Amino acid sequence: MIDVEIEDPAWTRALPDAVGLVQVAGKAALLLPSPSRGGVGGGGASAAFGGDPPTAGVRPAIRSAHAHTQPSPRKGERAFERHVTILLTDDETVRDLNARFRGQDRPTNVLSFPAPANPERFLGDVALAHGVCAREAADQGKSLAHHLQHLVAHGVLHLLGYDHIRDDEAAAMEGLERAILAGLGIADPYEAG
């Protein structure tokens, strides 16, 4: 299940179907299994956050910044029975989260906050900054809708335990992103031009 919280109305002004776009991309990413320990992204996404940051004072939509690889769906369980919250917010909110949890006092396009393993199969939260995403889409000659879906898929892959710290991890994660987006009819986001 993909819960979408829209905190910045700029998202729905630019993309009236922002919720639908997020849900489609998120569900497509959730169809993938979590990587196995020791495999690509096996260490979870903690390296993306500089280790296990404290969780005190985290916004309700961003419940945890601790990285733990979640189990793949059990036999007979549908992948989308795993739960994710996507927060569509503004640059200042993402800047604050980035400063508090990654020590980088600047906005960024997307942040993922994997949840500790839990029986509810809540994987974690993803936050996206409207201004950064809109500027990137314009600079790269992409539609904001396609860029949003790419970043949602990217963020959800982090929640599943994929990462891009090492070159082999990055190649594998980018390949998964390309496959997810191709399934949504979106061109390769890494293709030049």
In a domain, 93, yes or no: yes
Domain carrying residue 86? 2-73+80-183
- Which residues have C-beta within 8 Å of that of residue 93, sequence separation ≥ 6? 7, 8, 59, 87, 127, 129
Q: How confident is the model at residue 36 (pLDDT cuts 50, 70, 90)?
A: low
End-to-end alpha carbon distance in the chain = 34
How far is residue 181's CA from residue 61's CA, in Å, rounded to a whole number? 26
Q: What percent of the chain has pLDDT over 70?
A: 76
Task: Tell me the residue length of the chain.
Answer: 193
Q: How confident is the model at residue 35 (pLDDT cuts 50, 70, 90)?
A: confident
In a domain, 189, yes or no: no
How many folded domains does the chain comprise? 1
Structure letter (DSSP) for residue 116: P
In a domain, 130, yes or no: yes
What pLDDT, in 10s, does the model give residues 74-105? 444 454 489 999 999 999 999 999 999 999 99
In a domain, 59, yes or no: yes
Amino acid at 25: A
In a domain, 65, yes or no: yes
- Which residues have C-beta within 8 Å of that of residue 90, sequence separation ≥ 6? 7, 8, 10, 129, 130, 131
pLDDT at residue 184 above 90?
A: yes
pLDDT at residue 47 above 80?
A: no
> Which pLDDT score is estimated for 7?
98
How far is residue 147's CA from residue 67's CA, in Å, rounded to a whole number? 25
In a domain, 193, yes or no: no
CATH number of the CATH domain containing 167: 3.40.390.30
